[in-house]
Structure 1
C-alpha cells in the first residue's frame, strides 16, 4: 500500500510539474457584462431553422435598453448580445484588449477597468498619442496631419517591429477603427476577399485569398497613406513612384482593378470560362483629378498554336499567352480611338489628339498604360527559384539581388515550346525555322513573353502599321501578381539590352525610339500556385466588346472555328479603314496612295 501510495504521490507531483504557468486569458464579453451589471437576465426570444442547424436569438436588458444576439447555440447568442450591450456604454467591449492597445498587457482580475483616473493617468496612453499635432488629441477627421513624422513610426516600430503587423499598429494609432467585408469573388477553392477599414472619415480597402490577408492589406494601405509607415514593404522595386503616390498602393490598386473586372465579366468567377492559369490586363490612367484608372482590356491564356494550324492569310492567333493578347487588344483599342477622327463623324472625346504640325496623332498629356500580369512572364524573367535561401536580414527573394548575374542562363533569348509550357534557350547555331519544316513536324518555336516585353520597351506597343499614325507607345508600369523578383524582372524586360541600346540611341539623337524603363512592382498579396491542368481555351475582352471572346489556343480560332478579332487579318482591316482618310506621321515612310 505504501508503495502504491508513494507511486501515486509521485504521479501527482509529475502531473503538477507538467503544468506550466501562462498568461491569464482575457475574459469574454459575457463575463465583463456580469461584473459590470450583476443580475442581467438573458431570455430566449426565438429559435428557428432545422434541428441540425438551429438559430437562437437571445435578449438582454441593460440600462433600460434591449440588445439581441443570434448564433448557432444559446451560448454564442448570449455572447453576441453581451458584446452589443457593452458597446453601448464602453469604448472597448473587451477590457483586456483595451489594455493591450494602451501597451499595458492583460488586465488584472482585481483591476477596475472602468475607472477614468486609471486610463487618463496612463503614461502609455500619453506617450502613444503625444505625437499628434500640438500634443492635444486630434479628431478622427483630421488624419492627414496626425503623426506624420518619423517619430511616431519609430516609437511604434522600434522595439520589436517583427512582432507587430499592420493591423496591430493601426489599432495603436487610431482607436475604434472598423473593418467590413465588402464582398468575395470566385469559386469555393479560389476566392478573393475584399475588406474595408474605416479610419475616421476615410476608407481604405485591401484584398487577399483570406479575410485575414485582406484585413492585413487594408490596414497596410491605411498606414502608408495616412502616416507613411513603410516598415512592412516587401515586394516593391522603388526606382520611382507613380504620380507621387506610394508605389505599393498604386500597384495593389492596378491589380485589384483587373481582378474585379474579370470577376464582373465571368459572373463572379462562376462562369466556365473563369478557369485560368494566367490573367493579364491593361489599366489606363488619364491623370485627371479623381481618375482611379480604367481597365481597357484583359485576357487569359498560356498556350500557343499547333504548327499544323498556321494560317498563311493571317486568320489564326499564333500566341495566346495572356500578356501577348493584351498588347493586341491595346492596339485594337488605339484603332478605335483613331476611328473617332474619321471625316463626317461627330466629335467624340478621345485619349488622342492631333500633332501640333498636323501630321499624325499622339496621346494626350497624362495618359498612361499599366500592365498587370498575375505571374511573372515566361522566359528570362522567370528563370529563378522563388524559394532561394533568405539572407541574414530575413529578406525575401523579391528584395535581394541576383547572386550569380554572370551565369550563362541569365539574359538569354528563349522560345516557347509547341504543345507544352515553359521556354528553352535559342540556339545560335540552330537551323532556321521554315514554314514547310513546321508543317512536316518540326516543333514550332515562339518568342517568349520576356523577350516580347523587351521588344515593346524599345519599339513600343503600337506595331508597324499603327506607327504610321502614332509615335511609339510605351508602358508606364508592369505589376506582377506572383513570382515577382525585382532583379530578374528588371533584367528580363530592359536591363539586358540597356548597355548596348543606350549608347546607340544616344548617338543617333534624332530617333523617336528609346529604351523604356517602366516601373516594376509585385503586389502585397501574391497569388498562390495553382496546380492542375491548364484550360484548353483563352478568353479576351476589350472596351467596346459585348462580352468575352473565347479562343482555342491549339487552332488559333474561336470556339466556332471563326477568325478572332485579334488576328493579323483583322488588324490589317482596321488599318485599311483608316488609310488615306486621316493624316499620317510621315507620308514619305508609308504608302502614298490609298489602295484601290
Structure 2
C-alpha cells in the first residue's frame, strides 16, 4: 500500500492514539506556543507536543496537525517536522521517506480493528483536501500578484494593514493581530501572526519580522474575505423575476464583481446608482453601462456609440433625420438607485408609512400631495445630510461666489431626475446631434413609497404641462417606478465618505475622485467626467461629419449648448413651472463658467506642413551656377537655398571643365521663399540675366 506524506501523517496520528489508548496513558499538556494547523490553518485550542517519530528522525520545531478526539483527551496532536511539509516538493519523496514501506506494517498492526475500507475512505478524503489546498494556494499566489498591480490600492496609497483596518471600521467589527509563535535563533527569528476579525481567526503567516508577518496576515485575510464574497454571489437571488429585481440584481452583481477585483468597499459608498440598457430583441438582456456617478458615465458610453454610428458600425443609435440620430426602438434605458433620491422624495418617505404595494407597471399615483411644501425644489446641504428649499426664483451662482469659498448649492437628486423626465438624460450638448433619451424605468431600493416617488420624479409637473404642452419631441415622461426586494448594504454609516468613484462600460476602469475639487486621486488631474472632457468627446464627433463641423466647430462650450434652441426653451419652461406652482427656483451656474473652448493639439508633423504651406518653393536647374546661390541667399524673403547636382553626381566639377563650358554637371538649386515678400518673377530674372562669368554664357 503506497501512501503520500499527508496520508502517512494521518496514519501516524491514529497509530499514536491507538498505542496510547492501549497503554492507558493520558496525554501530557504543554503551553500553546505552537498553534499551527496543517496547510497553514491555525487552531485556537491548546495543543500537545509529541516527540518526533524515529522513522522521520527529526526533533526540531514541531508542526502540529489536528487529530480526532478521544474520551480521555480531546486535544491530541502529532509532531511532525515543519520543513518536511514545506520542502516535500523539493526533495525526492522516495529518498526522504525510505522507511515508509516497513512503517506501513507497523501502522496497520497498531490500528488493529480499523477496517481497510474505513482507512481507504479517510485516505480518499485526504486526497481531496490536498487538491483543494493546492488550488487555494495557486489562487492565493494569483491574488497576491493582482493585489500588487491593483490600481485602486495605488490610488488609495495605503498598505494592506490600513485597508483591512478600514474594512473593519466600515463594517463595525474589531480587528487585532495576534502573535501565534516565535521560533528560530535570536538573530534570525521567525514570527507567526494571524489576523483576528471579531472572534474569527484567519490563517497565520510566517515572516522574519512582526511587521512583515502582520502584512502577510492582512493579505491572507483579504484573500479569504474575497473568496467568501465570490461564494456569496450565488445566494444573491431576488424573490421574483420582475423587471425591478432583475435591474437591481444586475447592478448589485456588477458592483460586487468590481469590489472583489479592486476592493471598492474599502473606500465606502453611501449610494449606489447605475444606468442599464435593455435589448428587447435579445431576450430582454440587461447590461450595466455606468455605476456611481452614473449619468455622466452614461454620457461617455453614448459618445462612444455615436462614434460607432458615424463610422457605420454597430450602435444603439440610428438615423432620425439628416442631422440627428435617435435611440433604436429595441433599446430601453433603466435607472437604479439603492436608496430613495434625496430631496422631495426621500424627505417625506420617512414621515409616512412605507408603501410598497405593487401597481400595474404603467400606473402612477395621482398627485400625491398632503403638505404645502411637497413638490418644492430643494438644494443639498454642503458637508451634511439633507436638503433645503431653494429661493423663489431661478438663482445664478456667480463665479466670484465660488472662488471666494461661499456655499456652492447643488440641486437635489429628486429634482435632477425630474428634469431628466422632461428634457432627457442626454443634456443640451448632445441634443444638437441626437433626439432626447428618456428613462424607461426607475428601480429604487429602501426606503420606498410609491406615491412620494411618483410625485417627486415626474408627476409634480403633470398639472402645469397638461395645460402648457412642450414642443415635440419633448414631453413629460412617466417611467415605470418600482421597488426591488434586493437590499444593498451601505458600507459606511458612522463617518462621511470623502471620495467618489465612477465606472462605465466604455472606459472599463474605475476613477477615484475628490468631490470637493472634482480631481482624480492621487494624480490631481481633471476627471474624465468633467465638462471639458465631455466637450472634447463632442469635438471629436464633429470631425466625423462635415455638417456638424461646419455648424459647431467654431463655437465654445456655452455657445454650443445654446445652439439647441428647442432644448433651451423647454428648460426655461421647466424653471417657470416650479416658480409658478411651487414658488421655488432652479439653481444655475454663472454662464461665464461655460465660456471655454478646446484648443485642439496639432501634431508636430501637421504643424510643420502648415508652416511650409505658407511658403513657396522654386526649383531652378542649369549647367552650373557657381556662386549664384549666394546671390539668392542675399534676397529679402528667401528662407533657404539648397544646391546640388542632378544625375546622382556628388562631387563638384573641376575649374577647367566649368571654364570650358564642357561640364556634364547639371546643378539644381531649390529656393524656399515668402511669396508675400518676394515674387517668383524676381527669381527668374536673376536666374536668366545675372550670369556667372566663368560659364562663358553657356549656362
TM-score in terms of structure 1 length? 0.51
Q: Comparing both chains, which one has the higher relative contact order based on Cα–Cα distances under 8 Å and sequence gaps of 6 or more? A: 1
Q: Displacement, 1:493?
A: 0.6
Is 1:550 matched up with 2:512?
yes
State the match for 1:351 in structure 2.
316
Q: Displacement, 1:471?
A: 0.3
State the match for 2:630 in structure 1.
none
State the match for 1:469 in structure 2.
433
Q: Displacement, 1:524?
A: 0.7
Q: Which has the larger radius of gyration?
A: 2
State the match for 2:301 in structure 1.
333
State the match for 1:511 in structure 2.
472
Q: Is the 8 A contact 2:309 2:318 kept in 1?
A: no
339, 350, 354: which one pairs with 1:375?
A: 339
Aligned pair count reads 350
Q: Displacement, 1:578?
A: 1.5
Q: What's the secondary structure of 2:513's corresponding residue?
A: strand
Is 1:447 matched up with 2:411?
yes
TM-score in terms of structure 2 length? 0.44
What is the CA deviation profile of residues 8-30 of structure 1, one whole-angstrom value per residue up to 9, with x for unaligned ones?
A: xxxxxxxxxxxxxxxxxxxxxxx
Q: Is the 8 A contact 2:543 2:549 kept in 1?
A: no
Q: Is the 8 A contact 1:186 1:192 kept in 2?
A: no
Q: Is the 8 A contact 2:334 2:441 kept in 1?
A: yes
**Unpaired runs of 5+ in structure 1?**
1-43, 58-63, 71-183, 197-205, 208-213, 222-245, 300-324, 390-395
Q: Displacement, 1:552?
A: 0.4
Q: Is the 8 A contact 1:297 1:543 kept in 2?
A: yes
Q: Is the 8 A contact 1:538 1:550 kept in 2?
A: yes
Q: Is the 8 A contact 2:420 2:438 kept in 1?
A: yes
Structural RMSD (CA):
4.1
**Unpaired runs of 5+ in structure 2?**
1-13, 18-36, 46-65, 70-116, 124-221, 359-364, 557-598, 600-699
Q: Displacement, 1:430?
A: 9.4
Distance 1:564 1:52, change over 3 A: closer
Q: Displacement, 1:266?
A: 2.6
Q: What's the secondary structure of 1:550's corresponding residue?
A: strand
Q: Is the 8 A contact 1:580 1:593 kept in 2?
A: no
Q: Displacement, 1:535?
A: 1.8
255, 258, 282: which one pairs with 2:248?
A: 255
Q: Displacement, 1:296?
A: 1.1
Q: Is the 8 A contact 2:436 2:474 kept in 1?
A: yes
State the match for 1:425 in structure 2.
389
What is the CA deviation profile of residues 260-293 of structure 1, one whole-angstrom value per residue up to 9, with x for unaligned ones?
A: 1122223357346552111111111111233521
State the match for 1:562 in structure 2.
525
For 1:430 and 1:339, the matched residues in 2 are separated by 36
For 1:67 and 1:514, the matched residues in 2 are separated by 75
Is 1:578 matched up with 2:536?
no
Q: Displacement, 1:193?
A: 7.6
Which structure 2 residues correspond to residues 182-193 of structure 1 after superposition, within 5 A? none
Is 1:397 matched up with 2:355?
yes
For 1:328 and 1:445, the matched residues in 2 are separated by 19
Q: Is the 8 A contact 2:542 2:553 kept in 1?
A: no
What is the CA deviation profile of residues 539-587 of structure 1, one whole-angstrom value per residue up to 9, with x for unaligned ones?
A: 1111132420111011111111100111111111111112263377999
Q: What's the secondary structure of 2:277's corresponding residue?
A: strand
Q: Displacement, 1:66?
A: 12
Q: Is the 8 A contact 2:272 2:337 kept in 1?
A: yes
For 2:333 and 2:297, the matched residues in 1 are separated by 12
For 2:451 and 2:16, the matched residues in 1 are separated by 61
Distance 1:579 1:326, change over 3 A: same
What is the CA deviation profile of residues 181-202 of structure 1, one whole-angstrom value per residue up to 9, with x for unaligned ones?
A: xxx99969x9798576xxxxxx
For 1:586 and 1:471, the matched residues in 2 are separated by 19
464, 470, 495: which one pairs with 1:533?
A: 495
What is the CA deviation profile of residues 502-559 of structure 1, one whole-angstrom value per residue up to 9, with x for unaligned ones?
A: 3322xx6x52101111111111133356522122111111113242011101111111
Is 1:435 matched up with 2:393?
no
Q: Is the 8 A contact 2:339 2:446 kept in 1?
A: yes
Distance 1:187 1:251, change over 3 A: farther
For 1:470 and 1:555, the matched residues in 2 are separated by 31
Q: Is the 8 A contact 2:368 2:452 kept in 1?
A: no
State the match for 2:285 in structure 1.
292
Distance 1:430 1:362, change over 3 A: closer
Q: Displacement, 1:499?
A: 1.1
State the match for 1:275 in structure 2.
268
377, 380, 397: which one pairs with 1:413?
A: 377
Q: What's the secondary structure of 2:545's corresponding residue?
A: coil
What is the CA deviation profile of residues 281-334 of structure 1, one whole-angstrom value per residue up to 9, with x for unaligned ones?
A: 1111111233521111111xxxxxxxxxxxxxxxxxxxxxxxxx3111111111
Distance 1:503 1:403, change over 3 A: closer
For 2:297 and 2:405, the matched residues in 1 are separated by 31
Q: What's the secondary structure of 2:348's corresponding residue?
A: coil
Q: Which has the higher helix share?
A: 2
Q: What's the secondary structure of 1:488's corresponding residue?
A: helix
